Amino acid sequence: MKFTVAASLLALGTASAFVPPQAYGRTSDVVRSMAATETSVYTFEKSEEIFAEAQTLMPGGVSSPVRAFKSVGGNPVVFDKVKGAYAWDVDGNKYIDYVGTWGPAILGHADDDVLEAVKATMEKGTSFGAPCPLENELAKMVIDAVPSVEMVRFTNSGTEACMGMIRLVRAYTDREKVIKFEGCYHGHADSFLVQAGSGVATLGLPDSPGVPASATKATFCAEYNNLESVKAILEDNKDEIAAIILEPVVGNSGFIKPDKAFLEGLRELATDNGALLVFDEVMTGFRVAYGGAQEYFGVTPDVTTMAGTLSGNPLAMTAGIETMKKLKKDGVYEELERKSQKLVDGICAAAKEHGHAICGGTAGGMFGWYFTEGPVKNFQEATKADGEKFGKWHRMMLERGVYLAPSMYEAGFMSLSHTDEDIEKTIAIADEVLSKL
Ligand SMILES: Cc1ncc(COP(=O)(O)O)c(C=O)c1O
């Protein structure tokens, strides 16, 4: 059975092993000369005003926990508009944006061709609640792109995709128990909220209050990049595990790359134990490669989940189709990886030069670094990174025009719109910030 729940990222709605700091060269001359001029520091009056009101209207003032900046300190900036590699806040400050609406903006924000196609579709109405031919068109593109996928079910969100997926694997295997991994996030359905990475880790909660123990008692947690921990659970629960579910590159504990042998081992263990292997490619789908992490690592799961697109509505389908057409062009993923690597190498070299422990890595258009010697192979190792330093670093980068994910437990996302100049400027700003940290 090869099935995908949900599908399509895309504009409505994502590697190399960690390298120890010694492996990076010195900060380049261009970076040093750019860093010689100090960057001006932003102020945020309007953002503060709007966020103060938001806190009286919405819990935490936000519609998703990580946006509240709890783990980095200070208040979030309120966005006004986005275009290409940039975001502008309501105070008029411009940022080089490495969050990219948490991954989907892989072409850059508000791509002209995507917008044009969406506008033309909008003229026909924004939602039908009935089949539309665009669904077939996008489903065919997804099936063609992603190695494991034979059929597609579109959903509204990654959470719904994962909820559908867990019911599917239980129904198919007639088993209840599932294995997930510490630090992997699969949306906010009850059964997944065990050791679930960024949202929970950012708030410093061991697990999520409000989730009944009965909802998670069939969910077992293994350690990422550790096959023995999976074997032990399988042995203790012989013929009872419905599925092994993971982020094939973790983006919800910072950025953690799997060992290829780990993914291959999971494939074998799942097959041998009559369990399904599920890749949650909500972040990695169409981001680390056109065919997602399963193409990148050459390991084929049984079920794949990807980012949601409003139950097949015509606007989301159009955005998906137009984005995928552009992603399919030659050299796109090589370019994304080159840019991600350039950024990570530059930041790591600058950090090292200023005496900071750091390690980082990339996979296609996905990247990350931790303020620790590393390497970071699982969530426990990620927790050893310096969170206080990360908070200061985040605010200082923000004040100088670089928008990074507001949690050390989130990955970064490169787009095709980021230029070499953007990346060099980012490294130069980082160099100045790291010299003061
Ligand atoms: C890997 C993964 N799965 C599932 C989800 C849940 O998606 P959504 O926020 O659209 O519900 C996320 C969201 O960040 C994710 O990163």
Tell me the pLDDT tens digit for each residue of 261-293.
999 999 999 999 999 999 999 999 999 999 999
CA distance readout (Å), 320 to 113, 115, 156, 188, 388: 12, 11, 13, 24, 38
Neighbours of 220 (CB within 10 A): 22
Parse the chain into domains and list their residue ranges.
3-10+111-327, 21-110+331-436
Give the pLDDT score at 7.
36
Which residues on neighbouring strands pair with residue 300, listed in sequence order?
Answer: none
Cα–ligand 1 centroid distance for 279 (angstroms): 12
What backbone torsions phi and psi does residue 332 show, to the nearest 5 degrees? -60, -45
* Distance between CA atoms of residues 97 and 104, nearest Å: 13
Which of 246, 282, 294 maximizes ligand 1 atoms within 8 Å of its Cβ, making it the mutation to test the pocket? 282
CA-CA-CA-CA dihedral for 181, 186, 192, 198, to nearest 10: 70
| pLDDT 10s digits, 135-164 | 999 999 999 999 999 999 999 899 999 999
* Element of type H or E holding 402: strand 402-403
* Distance between CA atoms of residues 230 and 236, nearest Å: 10
Q: Say which CATH superfamily domain 21-110+331-436 falls into.
A: Aspartate Aminotransferase, domain 1 (3.90.1150.10)
* Element of type H or E holding 216: helix 213-216
For 3-10+111-327, CATH gives 3.40.640.10
Neighbours of 431 (CB within 10 A): 23
Two tokens, residue 155: 């959903």
* Distance between CA atoms of residues 52 and 57, nearest Å: 9
Closest to 87 measured CA to CA, from 413, 316, 350 = 413
Cα–ligand 1 centroid distance for 350 (angstroms): 32
Cα–ligand 1 centroid distance for 367 (angstroms): 17
Which residues on neighbouring strands pair with residue 356, listed in sequence order?
Answer: none
> Which residues of the chain have a pLDDT value below 50?
1-3, 5-34, 36, 201-206
The answer, yes or no, to whether any atom of ligand 1 lies below 6 A from the CB of 202, is no
The answer, yes or no, to whether any atom of ligand 1 lies below 6 A from the CB of 287, is no
Two tokens, residue 386: 């310096």
The answer, yes or no, to whether any atom of ligand 1 lies below 6 A from the CB of 405, is no
Closest to 374 measured CA to CA, from 392, 361, 387, 389 = 361
* Element of type H or E holding 358: none
Collapsing DSSP to helix, strand or coil, 273 comes out as coil
| Sign of torsion over alpha carbons 63, 69, 75, 81 | negative
Which of 64, 159, 284 maximizes ligand 1 atoms within 8 Å of its Cβ, making it the mutation to test the pocket? 159
Asked whether the beta carbons of 283 and 251 are under 8 A apart, the reply is: yes
Length of the chain: 437
User: Which residues contact residue 48 at a Cβ distance below 8 angstroms, ignoring those fewer than 6 apart?
Assistant: 75
Which of 185, 278, 288 maximizes ligand 1 atoms within 8 Å of its Cβ, making it the mutation to test the pocket? 185
Cα–ligand 1 centroid distance for 252 (angstroms): 9
Residue burial 266-279, b: 16+ Cβ < 10 Å; e: rest:
bbebbeebebbbbb
Give the pLDDT score at 30.
41
Closest C-alpha residue for ligand 1 atom 7: 158
